[in-house]
Amino acid sequence: MSSATRATDWRFATVAAIAPETPRAATLTLDVPGWRGHRAGQHLDVRLTADDGYRAQRSYSIASAPEDEKPQITVQELEDGEVSPWFVQVAREGDRFEVRGPFGGWFVWDAAQTEPLFLVAGGSGIVPLMSMLRHRRNQGSAVPVRLLLSVREPDDVFYARELETIGAEVVITYTRRPPAGWDGYARRVDRDMLQEVALLGGRAYVCGPTTFVESVADLLIELGQAPADIRTERFGGG
Amino acid sequence: MSTRGFHRRRATADHGRLPPGQYLEGGFPVLSAGPTPRTPLSEWTFSITGEVDGERSWTWEEFQALPRETPTVDIHCVTSWSKFDTTWEGVSVDTLLEDVEPLGGYVTAFCDGGYTTNLPVEDVTGGKAWVVFGYDGEPLEPEHGGPARLLVPHLYFWKSAKWVRGLRFMEYDEPGFWETLGYHDRGDPWLEQRYQGD
């Protein structure tokens, strides 16, 4: 099967490892037969099947680097979600479910690109951007990069330890509850913050909930970033 | 083979209305590749160009004066949400083509922001497609494609191009934005044509 596997073929993935990322999110490492890598920023589709035959399908961004042998996804549990709670609360090593992919050719970054990179994430929107940061680190890319991450509170930061050594300037703003003694940003991303933080003139990637992405993309245009150099990915639904 | 510990959590009463792999969404998620373009209505036009016997163009005011329809339709996004009974207001593509003879068999919808999508002519004629400027009784919001978007509800929703500015008729099928990036050329949700190769 492996040599003939196409991205569109459904196959069974096995959970090789699972680790809590935050109290409400988990990172799963997957064994996928015939997996031939991905481009940083791409997603895969998953399909879960209940005993009564009911199936549910979702798309999840890939968190791992293209260089990693096994793809990883990080899933944030959504209130009233149907699929995400299974990944966070139920899944354990050895569980199997269907996947296919990778998919998506727009919200991707390759280390061959030379323009400065400005990444903006709202909450779990960091997942595809983390794949880009890991790719950049693995390839030894010298492209200037800055990540602006907006989260409600410290518990919402994915990959917190790895971000310290990822080789990027990481700026975090806490919109609800900053850590004790915090003297950094503690508000929603606004024009002043972007003026101080944004790397303009290169390529910007913005990922998060719709209202967040809309607002950040509009502000970046106001600050002079060319619309064609702003790539967005929005979360919606559950 | 079923997934250990996974159960249905959502009632799906209208099972026959939901295409394979889709789930019912109450909100109205947004999917776009870039920032939301904002074109002033004074600069907005809608054009019929390309392989036609005569090109046509309407200003916003002229477009508003065309006969309107208010389709209520189910919509299906490739990212797997569907939304039932969405109500729109706009102009049928049939109305736009009343005095125009398309010569090519394909059409490319082109948009502010550079987005394009390709469709066979038969997917936008015969009461199957509209250019809409109203949603749920209100002007269509920019993030949902306002001032006007294409509405082709029988195909995945990326075919319902946001911020649409015209239809270019073509002799050949030319893949549009998402179609060039690995998404299916036609995008029939009932055949689950999500990606190239489906």
Mean pLDDT in consecutive groups of 10 residues from the start of chain B, 198 residues: 88 78 83 89 97 96 98 95 96 96 95 96 98 98 96 97 97 96 96 95
A214 shares contact with chain B (CB less than 8 Å): yes
Nearest to A202 by CA among A132, A133, A146: A146
Give me the CATH number covering residue A94: 2.40.30.10
User: How close does chain B come to A218, measured CA to CA in Å?
Assistant: 7
CA angle B99/B103/B104 to nearest 5° reads 130
Pair A213, A126 in one domain = yes
A1 within a domain of the structure (yes/no)? no
Q: From CA B4, how far away is CA A222, in angstroms rounded?
A: 49
Q: Rounded to an integer, what distance in angstroms lies between the CA atom of residue B124 and that of residue A32?
A: 40
Whether A5 is covered by a domain: the verdict is no
Is the CB of residue B114 less than 8 Å away from at least one CB of chain A?
yes
At residue A181, what is the residue type?
G
The reply to whether residue B31 touches residue A55, judged by beta carbons under 8 angstroms, is no
Same domain, A127 and A228: yes
Last residue of a domain, one of A103, A131, A149: A103
The Cα B72–Cα B127 span in angstroms is: 13
Range of the domain at A94: 11-103
SS3 A82: coil
- Is the domain of A18 the same as that of A83? yes
User: CA–CA separation, B104 vs B121, rounded Å?
Assistant: 8
CA A150 to the chain's CA centroid: 13
Residues of chain A with pLDDT under 70: 1-3, 236-238
Amino acid identity of residue B112, one-letter, is D
Residues forming beta bridges with residue A97, ordered by sequence position = A13
Domain ranges across chain B: 43-191
Indicate whether A218 and A131 sit together in one domain.
Answer: yes
Q: Using the 8-state DSSP alphabet, how is residue A86 labeled?
A: I
Among A42, A76, A103, residue at a domain's last position? A103
Architecture of domain B43-191: Alpha-Beta Complex (3.90)
8 A C-beta contact, residue B80 and residue A59? yes
Unique residue bearing structure tokens 């996974």: B6
Per residue in B69-109, pLDDT tens?
Answer: 999 999 999 999 999 999 999 999 999 999 999 998 999 99
Domain count, chain A: 2
**A50 contacts on B by Cβ (under 8 Å):** 2-3, 6-8
Q: Does A95 reside within a domain? A: yes
**Collapsed DSSP state (helix, strand, coil) of residue A89:** helix
A127 and A95 fall within a common domain:
no
